[in-house]
Amino acid sequence: MKNILYIIVMVFSIGCSDFLNREPQTSIAKNEAFENIQNIELAVIGCYNSLLENQSLGKEAFILYPELKGGNLKYGHNIGVSTQNRWRNSYEFNHDKVDEDEITYSTYRNAYSMMNRINNSIHGIREYSPKSESEKLLVEQYLAEVLTLRAYLNFYLANFYCQPYEYSSNAQHIGLVLLEVTPDPLDQPKRSKLYQTYDFIINDLDEALTLYNQDRVGVRKESWLRVVAAKALLSRVNLYKGDWNEVIKWSTEVINTSGLSLVANEDYHDAFSSHNTINTEDIWTLDFTGVAQEALSRIIGVNREQQSEFSVTTDLYDLYDDQDVRKSLYWVNTNTKDTLTYKYNNDETTLTENVYRLVRLSEIYLNRAEASARIGDNVVARSDLNSIVKRANPNAEDIKTSGEALVEDILIERRKELALEGHYYFDLIRNAKDINRADYNGVLNQNLSFPNHKMILPIPNYALDYNSNMEQNEGY
């Protein structure tokens, strides 16, 4: 068993950055990594672990990066020099010195390393011949999960390294390099068009939905991908694409058939602040139980030292009225005036929190609200929006706007409800909005007008050096 685990680690350690030193994809099926169902399960677990073990993905890319750029976070009074140096370029939209930008480098490198791990697993699973009907069902389930992981990763790579869908007519601008298998060492793949990138993502999710046949069991089933997560991701991906009918279709599927429900007002604070807690609207979470890494509670959350390296901005905090239950998720340090969040709440013994929420039901209501408003269905849009508004404050007045005013109300509510969960910046740029950060303590680029090449990251130089067909993003 020890030798098998070693083989699996070696197979999955191949990274896209090591362009001349990669094992060809065709050799994967010849080794022991996928010779039985137990090893396939280990391979799938390894794909999930990539999100947990890579701080530059699970914590940094998905949460800190968009919250700093969008204006929900700023430097705190207790920020360390190393943290400030690491995040300065992202906060200040100053990615022009590509080789000196750690976030640009680590996000791209680690994401494509994970992509190779996923693609090796997809290939190995497709090649495996199940020995029984029960094995066949397991193989299909595992394949569904890794296809969903690949879709999720490609979606976020597109958000980081490609201009949003509406940037050009029919998304004809440059997209991602799309990899179905780990590239051969001599391959020089080209970047796709963005519409092709989205087609690829949606096709993976569509195929996954034909394969899912069970939900994982146990106290942490929300940490495994399942049918409801794939449908929720289709809702999100189509929202970014602007395919409003598809957003409504998949959102309605989740809302009507998942068995999930919005957390009640009286339960809201505990549901989103209690350590090690899954609530009634969690669709997919990252479970950091037993994972040793610096936690978000030490960076933006309330912790036993009552100080963090970043602070919630005043314009975000001031959006909540005093009767809004969501305001209870913030704490203001009276000495430093920094505002911290209870959303990332640590265990005082381990100093790590257990749950990051990647997808939850409130987002799906807001997705359907926005899509409905875009097609002129104000009744559904207001109903979904008011479900969130009045859950937060039962005494709030009903939203009665329409047209663009209703869309703006929905976007404001998205900022309030999904704050510090990695949405706001992407909501701005997918809607072709300028970046205006009222509470800002950086030096450069406080505000940016859309469109702007600085709104996405450059391709790291090492990726250009290894691949003569790789195209740099415009402006870099």
- Residues 234-268 have pLDDT tens digits of 999 999 999 999 999 999 999 999 999 999 999 99
- Residues 291-331 have pLDDT tens digits of 555 577 778 887 666 678 999 999 999 999 999 999 999 99
Tell me, what CATH number does 110's domain have?
A: 1.25.40.390
Give the tokens for residue 327: 């305001």
How confident is the model at residue 17, as a pLDDT?
A: 36
| Cα dihedral 158/160/162/167 (nearest 10) | 100
Cα torsion angle, 430, 434, 436, 441, sign: positive
139 occurs within a structural domain = yes
350 occurs within a structural domain = no
274 occurs within a structural domain = no
Cα(177)–Cα(195) distance, integer angstroms: 12
How confident is the model at residue 217, as a pLDDT?
A: 73
How confident is the model at residue 177, as a pLDDT?
A: 95
How confident is the model at residue 328, as a pLDDT?
A: 97
Its pTM stands at 0.91
Yes or no: say if 182 and 23 are a contact pair by the CB < 8 Å rule.
yes
Cα(276)–Cα(346) distance, integer angstroms: 9
Report the Cα–Cα distance between both ends of the chain, in Å, rounded: 48
Cα(326)–Cα(179) distance, integer angstroms: 41
Cα(97)–Cα(253) distance, integer angstroms: 45
348 occurs within a structural domain = no
Region of 432 please: left (phi>0), alpha (psi -120 to 50) or beta: left
277 occurs within a structural domain = no
How confident is the model at residue 149, as a pLDDT?
A: 97
The whole-angstrom distance between residue 118's C-alpha and the CA centroid of its chain comes to: 17
Cα(399)–Cα(378) distance, integer angstroms: 10
Neighbours of 375 (CB within 10 A): 13
Residue numbers of the chain with a pLDDT score lower than 50:
1-30
- Residues 137-159 have pLDDT tens digits of 999 999 999 999 999 999 999 99
Yes or no: say if 457 and 111 are a contact pair by the CB < 8 Å rule.
no
203 occurs within a structural domain = yes
Amino acid at 5: L
262 occurs within a structural domain = yes
> How many independent structural domains does the chain possess?
1
How confident is the model at residue 25, as a pLDDT?
A: 39
Q: Measuring CA to CA, how many Å separate 139 from each of 95, 181, 182?
A: 42, 18, 20
Yes or no: say if 118 and 44 are a contact pair by the CB < 8 Å rule.
no
Cα(360)–Cα(261) distance, integer angstroms: 10
Domain residue limits at 371: 2-269+359-466
Burial 235-252 (b: 16+ CB within 10 A, else e): bbbbbbbbbbebbbbbbe
Cα(213)–Cα(210) distance, integer angstroms: 8
How confident is the model at residue 70, as a pLDDT?
A: 97
29 occurs within a structural domain = yes
